[in-house]
């Protein structure tokens, strides 16, 4: 297995941002939680905004930032799941 996986949020032909699959599970978890909570906070801020005071592009900016944060967080969670699945497969059967 390769140590680095491109983040799905890369929108370029050649990926630039990667996730270290060999990072400690705790670090993968912290990365995921940080990004998911940041997206949650952005969504909360959006619900508190007055529509009359927003620019036409504000909603697009919030949606783009939330998508990037959530996708990166989900990629980190997927990496964690892969590690747990690998451990379960290699565990001795009693």
DSSP code per residue over 41-57: HHHHHHHHS-GGG--TT
CB count in 10 Å sphere of residue 1: 7
- Enter the DSSP assignment of 49: S
- Contact present, 66 and 42 (Cβ < 8 Å): yes
Asked whether 4 and 19 are in contact (CB, 8 A), the reply is yes
Question: Model confidence over 51-94: pLDDT tens digits?
Answer: 787 887 888 899 999 999 999 999 999 999 988 887 788 877 76
Q: What's the pTM value of the predicted model, to 2 decimals?
A: 0.82
Angle (CA) 50 51 57, round 5°: 120
Q: Where are the domains of the chain?
A: 57-84
Whose tokens are 């989900």? That residue is 74
């Amino acid at each position: 297995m390769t140590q680095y996986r491109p983040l799905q949020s890369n929108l370029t032909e050649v990926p630039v941002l990667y996730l270290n699959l060999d990072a400690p599970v705790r670090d993968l978890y912290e990365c995921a939680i940080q990004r998911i909570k940041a997206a949650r906070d952005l969504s909360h801020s959006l619900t508190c905004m007055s529509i009359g005071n927003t620019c036409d592009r504000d909603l697009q900016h919030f949606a783009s930032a939330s998508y990037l944060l959530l996708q990166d967080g989900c990629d980190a969670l997927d990496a964690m799941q892969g590690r747990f699945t690998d451990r379960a497969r290699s565990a001795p059967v009693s």
